[in-house]
Amino acid sequence: MSNSPTQIQLIQPDDWHLHIRDGEVMKDVLADTARQFARAIIMPNLKPPVTTVALANAYRTRIEANLKLLGIDSFTPLMTLYLTDNTSADEVRKAKAEGIAAFKLYPAGATTNSDEGVSDIQRCYQALEAMQAVGMPLLVHGEVTSTEIDIFDREAVFIDQVLDPLRKDFPGLKIVFEHITTKQAAHYVRDAVTGEKNTIAATITPQHLLLNRNAIFAGGIRPHNYCLPVLKREEHRVALLEAATSGNPRFFLGTDSAPHAKGAKEAACGCAGCYSAFNALGLYAEAFESVNQLDKLEGFASLFGPDFYSLPRNTKKITLRKQAQAVPTELPLGDATIVPLRAGETIAWTLV
Ligand code: NCD
Ligand code: ZN
């Protein structure tokens, strides 16, 4: 591949971290994702959260109904369960038997709709034991929640206080450190020593590859660039970009596209979450091109995720062309609207 191609072909990617919500708004956001991705890990932080196999199956049925309404038959949702202090080992085994892809650990209060999350990881040890035994991945929102810890340090502190002890107690548990945002997290995942079978990986969002924390305050407060974990300093963005483009299979694509209506973002206490699904692949292509590593995009976007989850790789190919795509200032979201990432500007790459 030349250094600056104008067109690239890849095996169709999957999104390993996605919020599509529920009800009226779901089909608006689902269409954006299904246009680009073959599969997505569907986050369980609904209200109330998806804590049981029965709730996940019902959610899957609603997703499938929306896909049908949209006339889409080429997209598969991968369901997850929300871990709580009360998740039983039995529910874990049942989840495995019924094809649930993973459990999600939200420290209580860490982010949007996480109030029923885990208050103390020790309370989950029986469930974690069962996950390790049956090969069920644990996806972690890696931030401590204590208000005494500076918000920009919460991910790094989580590594020392929670993640590393957890990995020592459950060396065979497959863990995905979701939406990493710091140099510490990138290096921790890169350098982690595992057994013969790799047990750790991380997802990285487009906004954390393209933006640093100045983007939240550029000329005034920019609520649409606010997500959790919050954007960090430039040195962290650089470390994430280096990890994503390194060809290391421990790093793969997870957009964390997290839709909130315009009014809920542009408010005195605005919600956390960036909506990147409109043209997420174009954003990732820009990031990889910025360091001349477009040839590393396919591994990150299409190969390493299914390999880690022990799922088959996709076979269909897609093409991205270097052609600027305008991003609308607002998109429909049920009765409301949503402001996508890069609203009113352009993205350099377009899905053909
Ligand atoms: C997510 C959401 O809105 O559901 N928000 C976010 O800022 N990323 C939750 C999450 O993944 O933290
Ligand atoms: Zn998320």
CA distance readout (Å), 147 to 53, 152, 192, 347: 33, 11, 28, 37
The Cα 275–Cα 30 span in angstroms is: 12
Over residues 90-147, the pLDDT tens digits come to 999 999 999 999 999 999 988 878 888 999 999 999 999 999 999 999 999 999 999 9
Average of per-residue pLDDT across 202-228: 98
Residue nearest to atom 6 of ligand 1 (CA): 273
| Nearest by Cα to 107 from 144, 72, 80, 82 | 144
Please report how the helices 234-244 and 280-290 are oriented relative to each other, as an axis angle in degrees rounded to 10: 100
Residue nearest to atom 11 of ligand 1 (CA): 256
Residue 1: pLDDT over 60: no
For residue 112, the CA-to-ligand 1 centroid distance in Å is 5
**What's residue 109's pLDDT?**
85
**Which of 26, 42, 80, 111 maximizes ligand 1 atoms within 8 Å of its Cβ, making it the mutation to test the pocket?**
111
Nearest atom in ligand 1 to the alpha carbon of residue 19 is: 4
Amino acid sitting at position 26: M
**What's residue 217's pLDDT?**
98
**Which of 17, 42, 45, 113 maximizes ligand 1 atoms within 8 Å of its Cβ, making it the mutation to test the pocket?**
45
For residue 272, the CA-to-ligand 1 centroid distance in Å is 6
Element (H, E) at 136: none
Contact status, residue 144 vs residue 162, Cβ threshold 8 Å: yes
Nearest atom in ligand 1 to the alpha carbon of residue 110 is: 12
What the block records as the tokens of 147 is: 């208000």
Please report how the helices 125-134 and 89-97 are oriented relative to each other, as an axis angle in degrees rounded to 10: 30
15 is catalytic: no
**What's residue 13's pLDDT?**
98
DSSP string covering 59-74, please?
A: HHHHHHHHHHHHT--S
The Cα 209–Cα 217 span in angstroms is: 17
CA distance readout (Å), 177 to 108, 163, 282: 17, 9, 24
Residue 259: pLDDT over 70: yes
pTM strictly above 0.85? yes
Task: Return the bridge partners of 253, or none.
Answer: 204
For residue 273, the CA-to-ligand 1 centroid distance in Å is 5
For residue 21, the CA-to-ligand 2 centroid distance in Å is 11
**What's residue 3's pLDDT?**
55
Nearest atom in ligand 1 to the alpha carbon of residue 141 is: 12
Over residues 96-108, the pLDDT tens digits come to 999 999 999 999 9
Strands 39-42 and 76-82, bridge-based pairing: parallel
Over residues 279-334, the pLDDT tens digits come to 999 999 999 999 999 999 999 999 999 999 999 999 999 999 999 999 999 999 99
Mean pLDDT score of the chain, rounded to an integer? 97
Residue 264: pLDDT over 90: yes
Composition of the chain by helix, strand, coil, percent to 5: 40, 20, 45
| Nearest by Cα to 113 from 258, 231, 261, 267 | 258
**Ligand number with the minimum distance to the CA of 17:** 2
**What's residue 268's pLDDT?**
98
The residues lining ligand 1, judged by C-beta closer than 6 Å to any ligand atom, are 19, 45, 111-112, 141, 227-228, 256, 258, 272-273
Domains for the chain: give ranges and CATH numbers: 15-313 (3.20.20.140)
Over residues 24-71, the pLDDT tens digits come to 999 999 999 999 999 999 999 999 999 999 999 999 999 999 999 999
For residue 5, the CA-to-ligand 1 centroid distance in Å is 34
Q: Spell out which residues have Cβ within 5 A of ligand 2, the ion.
A: 256
Over residues 196-211, the pLDDT tens digits come to 999 999 999 999 999 9
